[in-house]
A and B are shown apart, each in its own frame.
Chain A
Amino acid sequence: MKKLTIIIFLGILAFAFANVRSAQAQTGEELVNICTGLADDATYLKDYTVKLSGAAPGEDPPSQKKSLMLRKNTQYRFTICSSRDHPGKGLLKVYSSSKLLASNYVPATGKIFHSVDLKCQKTGPYHLWVEFEDGKEGLAVVILSFVKKL
């Protein structure tokens, strides 16, 4: 009977643990909602979820590319939010014709901003690259939002 009680107790513990874990894990969907809030008064346009594994020693940090269309005379906001369940802090870079145009990371100061505004003056395709600081494993959401017409 004592054995049975222990078994039941362990089972309940396992059940509770599994459910608490699933309740606490931050999903991409939650990140989208949090990150949209951080974009302040800008209007949501699109979201991009990026999940990357960590870089092996000596390897370049893994990154993921997304395409997007931006329009002239428009101020856009890129907001990036990294999941608390993963070690990596998200870095974003926006390229136009393979030339770096904007990033939330300023190498000179080492500062990482959670968002960056781009005053776009050229309509066309752009590329968004997302990677994680020091090539760590991570999950991040980037929200592209519309701030205003210029």
Chain B
Amino acid sequence: MNGKLLLYILIALPLIFSCKSSNDRKANDEFEVPDSVANKGVLEVSDEAMENITENISSHIETAALIKDLNAPFSKDYLAPAGKVDNYNTNFEQALILGVYGADMGYLNMYNKTTVALDYLSSIRKMANSIKVGQFFDFATLHRLAKNNEELDSLMYITQRNFNQMDQYLRENNRSNLSTLMVAGGWIEGLYLSGQVYRSRPDEELREAIGEQKIILGDLMILMRNFESDPDFKNLIEDFENIHQLYQDVTITIEQGEPTRKVVDGRLVIEQNTKSIVNVSDELLERIIKESVEIRNKIINQ
């Protein structure tokens, strides 16, 4: 009898231990979500469509790289203040500002401004913890890399990946509203940065980059309207609607072409010969930039 009991225990042991790591992860990942954080009401856009639309909103890296490529000098004045996190008390405000800081981190990382980045990392951690996604933010590693000004590629990789993980987790856990706010905050901050750089250093490519945001804003509006029954979202949508209206006058035409393929240094390289051409007048561009300043400042000065 004792032998049988021992046998059961010994067979159960490996099962218990081999499952331990996944259970631990689950315990860390699954927080109790207060009602104010979870989605309210029924979403009109399916989860799959939400995911597709969110994935369709590009990262901040391309914008930051374009700005850096213009040899535009780094300016801390362009960034949202990192020290005002205590002003953001609701999950709505915290998710929005988290998105803003994400775009600022892209800009900081691109310019290797690791000392300044430390302040932002600290604020990001606080905001991420507030909306219960801090477990995806590897603050210790990021802090070490930034402080020692080392492995800047790793710093950029971990930052970007942590933001992706936070976003994915929110979407998978019935909190797409917060994911949408992070995307909205990041988008408006990216546009704001581009606009400020354009004003100080006008450039045709940057003008196009601002104009082509019409495509991305269209998707973002779909995401946000999904939550318009929430009064805070309703107000935000109204603000974004102003800039959305301005973008209606931006025209984007497509020139068709066939792609070409070649192998360069053992790597397959495809050159797309279909081109998008963005037309936006000086006056319209300035109105868009001005509107982006208003919306962005309203968000950061809540």
On chain A, the residues within 8 Å of B65 by CB distance are: 43, 74, 146, 148-149
Query: With A7-B10, A46-B59, A146-B65 in contact, is A116–B270 under 8 Å at CB?
Result: yes
Nearest Cβ on chain B to A144's Cβ, whole angstroms: 9
* Max count, chain A CB within 10 A of own CB: residue among B3, B58, B59, B268: B268
Check B270–A8 contact: CB distance below 8 A.
Answer: no
Check B7–A7 contact: CB distance below 8 A.
Answer: yes
Which residue of the partner chain, among B11, B55, B209, B254, contacts A67 with CB atoms under 8 Å?
B55
Check A74–B18 contact: CB distance below 8 A.
Answer: no
Chain B binding surface SS class? helix
Q: Complex formed: what's the CA distance from A117 to B268 in Å?
A: 6
Instruction: Give chain A interface residues in 8-47, CB to chain B under 8 Å.
Output: 8, 10-12, 14-15, 17-19, 21-22, 32, 36, 41, 43-47
Instruction: Give chain B interface residues in 23-75, CB to chain A under 8 Å.
Output: 51-53, 55-59, 61-62, 65-66, 69
Number of residues on chain B facing chain A (CB within 8 A): 54
On chain A, the residues within 8 Å of B14 by CB distance are: 14-15, 17-19
Query: With A14-B10, A118-B272 in contact, is A44–B160 under 8 Å at CB?
Result: yes
* Max count, chain B CB within 10 A of own CB: residue among A69, A106, A120: A69
Check B62–A124 contact: CB distance below 8 A.
Answer: no
Instruction: Give chain A interface residues in 62-114, CB to chain B under 8 Å.
Output: 66-74, 96, 101-102, 104, 106, 113
Q: Complex formed: what's the CA distance from A66 to B48 in Å?
A: 10
On chain A, the residues within 8 Å of B275 by CB distance are: 72, 121-122
On chain B, the residues within 8 Å of A10 by CB distance are: 7, 10
Chain B 238-255 interface mask (CB, 8 Å, partner A; 1/0): 000000000000001010
Which residue of the partner chain, among B9, B59, B274, contacts A96 with CB atoms under 8 Å?
B274
Nearest Cβ on chain B to A45's Cβ, whole angstroms: 5
Nearest first, the 4 closest Cβ-Cβ pairs linking A and B are: A11-B10, A18-B14, A67-B52, A102-B270
Give 8 A-B pairs besides A11-B11, A14-B14, A102-B270 with Cβ atoms closer than 8 angstroms: A7-B6, A15-B14, A41-B153, A46-B55, A104-B268, A117-B267, A121-B274, A122-B276
